Structure 1
Amino acid sequence: METRVGFIGLGIMGRPMAANLQRAGIPLSVWNRSPGGAAALASLGAVVHPSPTAVFEASDVVLLMLAHETAVDEVLQRGSDAFSRMVSGRTVVHLGTTSPGFSAALARDVEAAGGDYVEAPVSGSRVPAERAELVGLVAGRPEVVDRVAPLLAPMCREVVRCGEVPAGTGTKLAVNLYLCTMVAGLAEAFHLADRLDLDLEVFRHALDSGPMASAVSTVKLAKLVARDFEAQAAVRDVHTNTRLIADAAGAVGAHSPVLEATRELFRETEAAGLGALDMAAVVTALEQRDARTDGTSRRHGSPGTRHTPSRSDRG
């Protein structure tokens, strides 16, 4: 019998991920807290359900792409009898980024209720999600991972098996430490080029042509030069990620001074009301520090001049 698949959480990342599953010929049952994401999937043929409970009732495997731990607990009604009824006999696939401790505890609760659990946090932002070029960092019991892996293939260019829960989440946080600090460093380099009154297109060409260039740096530098802060990975979500990374590092006594400096920049950016913009907008924190110090300002207008996106409907 064909595996029945549900998908809950159709925000910046979840919507293109679910769309790729649907296009791959995997019929989906879906739910989202706001209607826009669900409507987009309905147009592709997915069945929209009125509640998470209804999605679970219609599914054997349910994929969750939710914004944070609280959202996961609320959607699953964790700690209630309803939670046990929802997950019993089903496989829960947690695609989002949470703390390792949260994922491990959720795995225990799902399995205690008679369900199976896999964590598969994905590395990548909106554009890789649209292109089915994410990297899935999967952990769980091998026989359960074997069942889930074919469902990840339409969304991911590679699926990396990380071991037992919560090794997938731990791997994601370690990867994200590099990502967050790299983008903050790129923004700082761009900011210096701007303050030196360099031709920013020439600076972009120099960096893109050199050994430090990467898929991330090329995309983010283009956004910085264009002042295009339409969200691929939103500042507020990156700030949350830096907190999760810092907490994980602190729990094992791993010093992370570069992360701490980066975390403060993202905190300042979100506090300035720019949390819905792309993580490249972290450059504005540096610009505001300059303005407070010596009254200078950057050359290129206000944040979001070219794109001022509305708050995305989040899963």
Structure 2
Amino acid sequence: MSTSIGFIGLGVMGTPMALNLARSGVPLVVWSRSSTHYDTLRNAGAIVAESLDALFSRCETAVLMLAHEEAIDEVLGRRTPLFAQRVAQRLIVNMSTTSPGYSRALVDEIHACQGRYVEAPVSGSRKPAEAGQLVVMLAGEPEEVDRVRQLVQPMCRDSLVCGDVPAALTMKLAVNLFLITMVTGLAEATNFALRHGIDLAQFAHALNAGPMASDVSRIKLDKLVTQDFSVQAAITDVLKNSRLVAEAARSAGIASPLLDASHALYGETETMGHGGLDMVAVIHALSQRSAQATGEALPGR
């Protein structure tokens, strides 16, 4: 088995993450269930595997950046004879966002097959991923975590060790709770300003010049002002993440009223057909609620 690193999952986040690894000189083998970015990765020096089995046969370490738990199960062949073949004597690095309970069960199954496991979820969306400015949270056995921390350096501006699995995913969900409620609040404030006839450029200036401004608020506010809904973090993905946070809160008996309100709004936005748009498209659900409250005719009616 070679020292190549396998990278599985080339979506909105996975592609720039893999590119940063390849451009840094990491010997990379990539595969995705569906990808249009293979040529870009080849040009950066990565090898495109013909199949999952070809990737696993070449790589001692496999990095997963997949959309959901079902995709991870499929790729690892979980609950099939393929699982032991794909994880035995390998290091599986889960950079996807899953529930802590899922990760806790997965690490036990991987260890039972003589494999190793590190969870390494990231904080950041497409733009930070492209710039190699993600924050990576790590959990697992100290020796393996150290290895992964070195590996992910080209992707991130910072990394932190959180302890044992699933501490990194629990940390990621806490970070996501703040992000989701903050961006939802920003969209609600923008809807408020818009409906009061406030010039949105002046509104943006007032916010950006004040103490509440951040890298995220500046980027998301600009998208709201210009009605640019091109995806950085999609509504559907944010809805999934908010569900994971809500479930983790319920299981621990923790109140999450702001997250619950946000979760409902993202669900409404997806129902409106905006699941593939950036999370700031939640303003559509806020606008719809405002129209319903005032008795305005909704679009298409």
Pick which of 27-36 and 185-194 moved more: 27-36
Instruction: State the partner residue of 1:189.
Output: 189
Instruction: State the partner residue of 1:103.
Output: 103
Q: Could you tell me how far apart the structure 2 residues matched to 1:199 and 1:86 are?
A: 56
**How many residue pairs align between the two structures?**
300
C-alpha deviation, 1:297, in angstroms: 7.9
Instruction: State the partner residue of 2:275.
Output: 275
Pick which of 108-117 and 128-137 moved more: 108-117
Contact 2:229-2:278 at 8 Å conserved across structures? yes
Alpha-carbon spacing, 1:30–1:171, altered in 2? closer, same or farther (3 Å)? same
Instruction: State the partner residue of 2:73.
Output: 73
The residue type equivalent to 1:290 in the other structure is S
Q: Could you tell me how far apart the structure 1 residues matched to 2:133 and 2:270 are?
A: 28
Q: Could you tell me how far apart the structure 2 residues matched to 1:227 and 1:11 are?
A: 23
Matches within 5 A, 1:201-220: 201-220=201-220
The residue type equivalent to 2:220 in the other structure is K
Q: Could you tell me how far apart the structure 2 residues matched to 1:228 and 1:65 are?
A: 26
Matches within 5 A, 1:137-286: 137-286=137-286
Q: Could you tell me how far apart the structure 2 residues matched to 1:100 and 1:243 are?
A: 13
Instruction: State the partner residue of 1:311.
Output: none
C-alpha deviation, 1:290, in angstroms: 1.8
What's the CA shift string for 1:137-194, capped at 9, x where partnerless?
Answer: 0000001111111111000100110000000000000110000000000000000000
Alpha-carbon spacing, 1:84–1:194, altered in 2? closer, same or farther (3 Å)? same
- What secondary structure, in the 3-state scheme, does the structure 1 residue paired with 2:66 have? coil
Q: Could you tell me how far apart the structure 2 residues matched to 1:104 and 1:19 are?
A: 29
Pick which of 235-244 and 72-81 moved more: 72-81
- Segments of structure 1 that go 5 or more residues without pairing to the other structure are 303-315
Instruction: State the partner residue of 1:309.
Output: none
TM-score (norm 1): 0.92
C-alpha deviation, 1:40, in angstroms: 2.5
- What secondary structure, in the 3-state scheme, does the structure 2 residue paired with 1:60 have? strand
What's the CA shift string for 1:119-149, capped at 9, x where partnerless?
Answer: 0000000000000000000000001111111
The residue type equivalent to 2:26 in the other structure is I
- What secondary structure, in the 3-state scheme, does the structure 2 residue paired with 1:25 have? coil
Q: Which runs of 4+ in 1 moved over 4 A?
A: 295-298
Alpha-carbon spacing, 1:233–1:297, altered in 2? closer, same or farther (3 Å)? farther
Identical-residue share of aligned pairs (%): 53
Q: Name the structure, 1 or 2, with higher relative contact order (CA <8 Å, separation 6+).
A: 1
C-alpha deviation, 1:219, in angstroms: 0.3
Q: RMSD value over aligned CA atoms? A: 1.6
Q: Could you tell me how far apart the structure 1 residues matched to 2:221 and 2:22 are?
A: 32
Q: Could you tell me how far apart the structure 1 residues matched to 2:52 and 2:93 are?
A: 14
TM-score (norm 2): 0.97
Contact 1:32-1:38 at 8 Å conserved across structures? no
- What secondary structure, in the 3-state scheme, does the structure 1 residue paired with 2:154 have? coil
- What secondary structure, in the 3-state scheme, does the structure 2 residue paired with 1:236 have? helix
What's the CA shift string for 1:280-313, capped at 9, x where partnerless?
Answer: 0000001111222324489xx99xxxxxxxxxxx
Instruction: State the partner residue of 2:51.
Output: 51
Pick which of 232-241 and 54-63 moved more: 54-63
Q: Could you tell me how far apart the structure 1 residues matched to 2:2 and 2:56 are?
A: 16
Q: Could you tell me how far apart the structure 1 residues matched to 2:154 and 2:88 are?
A: 26
What's the CA shift string for 1:57-85, capped at 9, x where partnerless?
Answer: 11011100000000100111101111101
Q: Could you tell me how far apart the structure 2 residues matched to 1:186 and 1:148 are?
A: 35
C-alpha deviation, 1:35, in angstroms: 3.2
- What secondary structure, in the 3-state scheme, does the structure 1 residue paired with 2:194 have? helix
Q: Could you tell me how far apart the structure 1 residues matched to 2:138 and 2:60 are?
A: 19
Q: Could you tell me how far apart the structure 2 residues matched to 1:149 and 1:3 are?
A: 16
Instruction: State the partner residue of 1:62.
Output: 62
Pick which of 30-39 and 202-211 moved more: 30-39
